[in-house]
Structure 1
Amino acid sequence: MGRGRVELKRIENKINRQVTFAKRRNGLLKKAYELSVLCDAEVALIIFSNRGKLYEFCSTQSMTKTLEKYQKCSYAGPETAVQNRESEQLKASRNEYLKLKARVENLQRTQRHLIAWMNLLGEDLDSLGIKELESLEKQLDSSLKHVRTTRTKHLVDQLTELQRKEQMVSEANRCLRRKLEESNHVRGQQVWEQGCNLIGYERQPEVQQPLHGGNGFFHPLDAAGEPTLQIGYPAEHHEAMNSACMNTYMPPWLP
């Protein structure tokens, strides 16, 4: 007699329900393993009990890679691919539109600047009204004031720079003048010392006296052999002193 067909409904008995869950869970995991081995299939099985406990089986080493593969295959169907292409085309069209818009704005800005420049030059003024002409006149006055202010600032800067250079040159001249005065002072002092060295005492030459008898050991005293004091410069040094004094100037420290 064969086994009867089991009615598929929730088992009310808690113990029987847990026993049935354990048996069928193990059988399901076994079938998944057999399917992956026999058919060389990539199988992933996830089971949660009524208490929230997780039971899983994966024929590969990583359950995460299998789930990622599942998500790509499930959520990226043909319709999704078409939508992605349309989205990319829309994005490219929008970028092109933004580029063209920016280019048009630049051209318009350039045109406005060109018209304003021509108006400043006094050209194409017939199409302007009274208010526009008054506004243009105010702009010209403001521009003229700005130009004058900038020119004045540049002139003041140049004047300040020239004054600074003038002070530097004056300071250099003072230093050179001080060095020149010191050099002249030292030179005059040297000339004065040389002149003082020429002034001195000289001895008169001794007159050779003949020997007086005897063995010549004793000599009589002679006043001519004594030194004499001479007042003033010797005659042979007058010309040297005159030439030295004529070529120099009087030192400032002399009375």
Structure 2
Amino acid sequence: MEKILERYERYSFVGRQQNAASESEFSYENWTLEYYRLKSKVELLQRNNSHYMGEDLDSLSVKELQNLEQQIDTALKHVRTRKNQLMFESITDLQKKVRNIEENNVQLAKQIKEKEKSVALAQQAEWEHQQQQGYNALSFLFPPPPHPSLNIGLASFDGHQ
């Protein structure tokens, strides 16, 4: 129905335009014709829009309703295709973000292990240093054990053999 009306308007406008072209100047009539052509096009678009919204369907024939249904189905397929495309792009972006986060987590885990190792080594060095200092501090209280060769000499000096 829409196509038929457009064809009618085009042919009637072309016929009017040919008549107007014979005139040498663009007259008030040409503007009037243009106005009516645009007005009928706006009315057609408004009518089609109301039909797409499910309004004023009583005046349509079965064939016009089938045509309208086909147009709506086609439009719905385009909408679903676009929606699926956007969802796929969104999923792809989210998967990339997940991969980046996982890579960052692996790097952070490595950094944590390296820091733990350096802290453990520093603690071990500090403990050894403290042990060394503690041994030096207590060495005046507890003299080191006598050297074995000195024991022999001391035992023979006491007279015990």
Q: Distance in 2 between matches of 1:97 and 1:170?
A: 72
Unaligned runs of 5+ in 2: 1-22, 147-161
- Which of 5, 25, 32 in structure 2 is aligned with 1:91? 25
Q: Which residue of 1 aligns with 2:114?
A: 182
Change (3 A) 1:192 1:108: same
Amino acid aligned to 2:105? N
Compute the displacement of 1:197 (Å): 2.8
Residue correspondence of structure 1 range 43-122 to structure 2 within 5 A: 90-93=24-27, 96-122=28-54
Change (3 A) 1:229 1:104: farther
Detail structure 1 runs of 4+ shifted over 6 Å in the superposition: none
Residue correspondence of structure 1 range 158-177 to structure 2 within 5 A: 158-177=90-109
Q: Distance in 1 between matches of 2:66 and 2:26?
A: 47
Change (3 A) 1:121 1:204: closer
Residue correspondence of structure 1 range 1-255 to structure 2 within 5 A: 90-93=24-27, 96-200=28-132, 202=136, 205=140, 228-229=144-145
Q: Distance in 1 between matches of 2:32 and 2:116?
A: 84
Unaligned runs of 5+ in 1: 1-88, 206-226, 231-255
Compute the displacement of 1:167 (Å): 1.8
Amino acid aligned to 1:142? T
The root-mean-square deviation of aligned C-alpha atoms, in Å, is 2.8
Q: Distance in 1 between matches of 2:119 and 2:128?
A: 14
Return the index of the structure with the highest Cα Rg. 1
Higher relative contact order structure (alpha carbons within 8 Å, sequence separation ≥ 6): 2
Compute the displacement of 1:105 (Å): 2.3
Change (3 A) 1:139 1:229: same
1:140-176 deviation per Cα after TM superposition (whole angstroms, max 9, x unaligned):
2111211211211121122122222222222222222
Amino acid aligned to 2:110? R
Q: Distance in 1 between matches of 2:34 and 2:98?
A: 55
1:188-238 deviation per Cα after TM superposition (whole angstroms, max 9, x unaligned):
011112223344575965xxxxxxxxxxxxxxxxxxxxx8458xxxxxxxx
Change (3 A) 1:177 1:99: farther
TM-score by length of 2: 0.61
Amino acid aligned to 1:131? K
Say which SS state the counterpart of residue 91 (structure 1) adopts.
Answer: coil
